[in-house]
Structure 1
Amino acid sequence: MKTLTLLRHAKSQWDDTVPRDFDRPLNAKGARAARTVGRHMREAGMAFDRVIASPAVRVVQTLDGVWDGLGRPMTPVWDKRIYLASAATLCDLVRETADDVGSLLLAGHNPGLEDLVLLLVPDRPEDRLRDDVEEKFPTASLAELQFAVDRWADIDAGGGVLARFVRPRDLDPALGPGRE
């Protein structure tokens, strides 16, 4: 069994005058959401054997907040290929993971993360979590997928089960859309 958890970066500053999209920092709401998601991960007993993340500033700051909420830091592997990657690129990255890793956290960006969930989890009428992802994978949201495989290389389209999809607003209504 392999568990893949996908974390989208938290809400970032759009009114900041940074010259590159890559350098956009989190805003105050994003920082709160990251800590809240980290606390949820701690309360849910989530743990990861490996973390792979985009080195974009907003992802780095999201993980800093998550670690604060989780109560323990982790050392990510920073991989530039995740920055604005397609679902196909992300899937390739996951398949490259060493087989001794049972639980992987991948932190990055949309639309790639949302598309990856939709690629890996089959569309079934009874799967309301997948429907929620298909509607929107908001900032600082967390999706946990499970695969009945022994090797990451064996993960294939439609082969996953979406076991968890948590949006910041599910944990704290003040973190919902339109709330600052």
Structure 2
Amino acid sequence: MTKRLILMRHAKSSWDNALLDDFARALNGRGRTSAKALGDWIRQKSYLPDQVLCSSAARTRETFAGLKVMADTAFVDTLYHASADQMMRTLQRATGSAVLMIGHNPGISWFAAQLVLTPPSHTRFSDYPTGAATVIDFDIAEWAELRPATGQVVDFVIPRELTG
């Protein structure tokens, strides 16, 4: 049996309002365009999730909304600036066959690196820029069986490759 993870960093956020709390920052125009392009990519590649685990921060919620994918969705407070270990614990409680997890750096780049057996050759995988997404398959029956360095990378993309 196979489980699939689509691990995505939120799209580009706005820094226009210096008084706004980090948790409340929304996407900027480029971020909204990127979220739409990422949603189109997910549909075109048939990477549709059946469960979404999304940080409850404004920019991750807005990224998810821009994707326009339908799935059982949970906005998870502990994914806001989560460590790789926290992301692992959250994912190990997932119930879907194909899970989309949307979070923040630096934790998400560390988590991606920990999960895969062999990283993709893409030059941006290690820094995981805004909107980066990795599709990873695991040969497990339940997410509780998830262990580091067991994932096979199916795909990796950054928004700039989708929007030109």
Q: CA deviation at 1:157?
A: 1.0
Q: Which structure has the bigger radius of gyration?
A: 1
- Name the structure 2 match of 1:37: 38
Is the CA contact 1:121–1:161 (under 8 Å) kept in the aligned structure 2? yes
TM-score, normalised by the number of residues in structure 1: 0.85
- The alpha-carbon deviation at position 123 of structure 1 amounts to 4.5
Structure 1 consecutive aligned stretches of length 4 or more whose deviation exceeds 6 Å? none
* Equivalent position to 1:88, from 69, 82, 85: 85
Secondary structure, counterpart of 1:143 in structure 2: strand
- Give yes or no for the alignment of 1:133 onto 2:119: no
Over the aligned positions, Cα root-mean-square deviation in angstroms equals 1.5
Name stretches of at least 5 consecutive residues in structure 2 with no aligned partner. none
**For the Cα contact (< 8 Å) 2:3–2:143, is it kept in 1?**
yes
Gaps of 5+ in 1: 174-180
Contact 1:3 1:104 in 2 (8 A): yes
Aligned to 1:148: 139
Cross-structure match for 1:176 = none
Structure 2: how far apart are the matches of 1:10 and 1:45? Answer: 20
Instruction: Give, in whole Å, the separation in 1 of the partners of 2:26 and 2:142.
Output: 36
Identity of aligned residues (%): 30
**Residue 76 (structure 1) shift:** 1.7
Q: How many Å separate the matches in 1 of 2:138 and 2:67?
A: 24
Q: Say whether the 8 Å CA contact 1:18–1:24 is kept in structure 2.
A: no
2:4 partner SS:
strand
Indicate if the aligned counterparts of 1:120 and 1:160 stay in contact, CA closer than 8 A: yes
Aligned to 2:11: 10
What TM-score, normalized to structure 2? 0.93
8 Å contact from structure 2 (residues 118, 153) kept in 1: no
